[in-house]
Chains A and B, each alone.
Chain A
Amino acid sequence: MTDHPSTADDPRPLEAWGRSSYLPSTTTHDGERYVRVTRGMVLTPLRVVGWLALLVLFVAVPDIASLSSSIQLRVLHQGVLFGLAAVGLNVLLRHTKLVSFGHAAFFGTGAYTAGVLATHFDVTSMILLLAAATLIGTLMAGVIGFLSLRHTGLYFSLLTLAFGQLLYAIAQGQSYVGGSDGISVRPGDANQATLLGADLAPDVYAVVVYYLTVLVVVVALFVMWRIVNSPFGNALDAIGQDRTRAQFIGIPVRRYVLAAFVLSGVYGALAGGMYGLVQQHVRPESTLYFLRSGEILFMAILGGFGTLIGPLVGGIVLVFLQDVGQDFTNYFDALTGLVLVLLVFGFPRGIVGSLQSGSPLRDRAGALVDDPSVAGDWVQDGADALVAALSRAKRNLVVLVFGVR
């Protein structure tokens, strides 16, 4: 999405591409036609078609889910929501290079805010519940961010983990939020939230909330694209590369990193609020436990944290994998580990990252199409590497057993 025609051919800055309007239009460059979606977002026609196809697929999910009982709307929906939280986390991971182990805290805060308002204050409006969830989650991100960002690296990660577990323990222990039984998000007479005052039948409710999610996700992705391609996003990149130098060139590092942290919290809280509306019941294990934070992090890596929509894809894939895995094996948790191993060795750029142009996978696929005989070379290379590794292992073993001679 962030790709635009190579600026090497065109010395003009990106903004010069049709500065005049924010509305979508077409534009010509080097004799090729491009679609200019908004300022700075210029796509080839092929990409536009790809994006539209993706959007249609996204919108058609409820219909797809009705085709097979092994695909469930609720599961895909959950995947999208965790993916949205992962998109937020990705701001930190991709740009400022900070690893947060406590991102479920904002997800959980959002979900619990919806639960508390629905149960104790009988707030029925979906929009109000979402807005409050986002607001409270954002405040939480502000507080946790302010306290955690005093440190970087491992200490930052551990602090976020600590705050996350603190919230988990509070949710577990407080009967006001239902302790380990959790709290339901079922306000009003219809026993569920209403959209613009309308009561919805249970099956309609699931679909309507899904489309609300689609809307939220599309807007959230667009906003995120704007942010990471803004000067602010560039400043975050600079901070990620070298904090000290970024400070030297006048970037207010701490303020910017805190802003990025809060921004990622907004996404987490919004996703959590939506999750509350979907599940209609919020429990500590499923929203606040540190393993959830780990999963959100894993989703970003699985989908490809170097990309914008990678984390979203990662979320859908992971949640789906866990759900389907349960049908096949009791050891479905091991699937996650297996996928992680495959990922690290085979596709370090994640699912979306590996499909992008310039990735080793694309290069290899391209080479294979050009000349299928390279496959033989690869097998030969692989075998050579294996032989070399075995002989190294043998040498090491000899050294270990008999010592260096």
Chain B
Amino acid sequence: MLGMVGGTAVAAALAGCSTILGDDDGAVADGDADVPDEPIQAGLQTYTEGAASVLGLQAQYGAEIAIQRINDAGGIAGREMELDVAHEADAAVENYTQFVDEGKDVTFGPISSGGHAALAPEVESQGVVNVGTDGTVTTLYEDTVPDPTYSFRFQNYDVMECVTAAREAVSRLGADNIDSIAGINPNYAFGQDEWKFFKLAIEKLVGDVEVTHEGFPDLLADDMSTHITQVNDTEPDVTFSSCWGGDVTTLMNQAAANDMFDNTQLVGSVLYSAVDELGQDVVEQAEAFSGSRNWYWDFPNGSRWSPNEDLFQEAQDQYDVVPTAHFMSGYGAVTAWATATEKAVQLTGGWPSQEQIARSLEDHGFHTPAGYHVMGSDHQGKSNAYSGRMEWDDDLGRAVLEDVNVFTPQEVAPPIGTDAEAWVNSW
């Protein structure tokens, strides 16, 4: 039963509450005969270079810190974790099969939706658990792998953040004040998926709206002025954008230069992902509302919820970044697996099989500094969704979210077994 104590220490460490258990770190199990001695080998695939590394490195940092905390707490049933990181490139399936060939006990990632759609069926046939960090396409567990066993996803998915953005717009502006909308979204499946769900959700919330412009700039386009001109000409009440990373920087800089923010209210699902690149005047001019997926590092405030503050400090000290939602997706994916595995160790009294780990991940609830999460029986992790007004913070030298709204999974996600589109349509 020493394993139980060690395992609970891991759970507490990952939740960021080292005080919960008192000081029994020394009581770590390693004497259990059925648990192998060698370290747990984990593989993470993420974007380590190129434009998408703005998100990808955050996921890597998050996963690394989670693993440090696991190892500091003595590992899972005495087994420490080692992480191998592969560049996602366009090779989600290849990276995964290589991990499996190398004998990895668990795999994490990928970031890209397309890669995730390609990967999930492969995970099902190879049978080594994969916990997706992002890859948020709505159809993954609706169409691509409708009945998964080994494939899981930690991050909130597209429909959740679009409904969050729509609810945010309505709560800030009032349903009566939204008569027209425009969309500027990246021209690939993610952007099209997001725009579709935002439009659907806001029409359900405020009644008929006029769509004044639907723009789909290419990923990493260096000019968005045509879309900005269109928005300026038609002055919609709300402009929705699911641009992320470098595209946010381009969009907001050019929009500021052309006074777009005088004519519309910008609401975005992942604008905050560009926080390390946005300048003060642009942020102040825009007063945009942005979602932050499943985590915002300053909510609840550090003085009220110290695990948040601790993780923020660790990210600043080790990597000098403001941790974003992608940081939490790396942290959370590792945590989901580690806490479920530790639970399985306790239940089986030995090292669990992949199938046993997979089964214990289903309906598994766990804490991280972001709060309480549940991995549903549909293999989709669901967490509170955050959204707030982007404002400049002089102390931090970056934008922060003020007046953060929190939406529970029940408000923004379809019930298990319900198709997302049918759910929004049923409102």
Are B121 and A186 in contact, CB atoms less than 8 angstroms apart? yes
A323 CB contacts on chain B under 8 angstroms:
91, 94
A279 CB contacts on chain B under 8 angstroms:
93, 118
Q: Which of B188-196, B274-282, B419-427 contacts its partner?
A: B188-196
**Partner-A contacts on B (CB < 8 A):** 48-49, 86-87, 89-91, 93-94, 97-98, 101-103, 113-114, 117-118, 121-122, 124-126, 137, 144, 187-190, 192
Q: How many residues of A contact B (CB 8 A)?
A: 26
A182 CB contacts on chain B under 8 angstroms:
114, 117-118
Partner of A72, one of B49, B98, B187, B188: B98
A280 CB contacts on chain B under 8 angstroms:
93, 118, 121-122
A252 CB contacts on chain B under 8 angstroms:
none
B113 CB contacts on chain A under 8 angstroms:
180-181
Partner of B48, one of A75, A178, A281, A330: A330
Q: A69-B102, A281-B117 are in contact. Are A74 and B97 (CB under 8 A)?
A: yes
CA distance A191 to B190 in the complex (A): 25
Partner of A330, one of B87, B97, B98, B118: B87
- Nearest 3 CB-CB pairs, A to B? A179-B189, A281-B118, A180-B188
A202 within 8 A of B: yes
Q: A181-B117, A191-B124, A281-B117 are in contact. Are A326 and B87 (CB under 8 A)?
A: yes
CA distance A287 to B137 in the complex (A): 21
**Sampled A-B contacts (13; CB under 8 Å):** A69-B98, A179-B189, A180-B188, A181-B189, A182-B114, A184-B118, A184-B144, A186-B121, A202-B126, A281-B93, A283-B118, A326-B89, A330-B87
CA distance A175 to B101 in the complex (A): 34
A122 within 8 A of B: no
CA distance A181 to B193 in the complex (A): 11
Q: How far is the CB of B284 from chain A (nearest CB, A)?
A: 34
A283 CB contacts on chain B under 8 angstroms:
90, 114, 118
Are B114 and A180 in contact, CB atoms less than 8 angstroms apart? yes
A172 CB contacts on chain B under 8 angstroms:
187-188
B98 CB contacts on chain A under 8 angstroms:
69, 72
Which residue in chain B gives the minimum CB-CB distance to A68? Answer: B101
A75 CB contacts on chain B under 8 angstroms:
94
Among B86, B98, B190, max chain A CB count under 10 A is at: B98
Which residue in chain A gives the minimum CB-CB distance to B137? Answer: A181
Are A178 and B90 in contact, CB atoms less than 8 angstroms apart? no
Among A192, A281, A285, A323, max chain B CB count under 10 A is at: A281
Are A326 and B121 in contact, CB atoms less than 8 angstroms apart? no
B49 CB contacts on chain A under 8 angstroms:
330
Q: A202-B125, A281-B118, A283-B118 are in contact. Are A178 and B189 (CB under 8 A)?
A: yes
A26 within 8 A of B: no
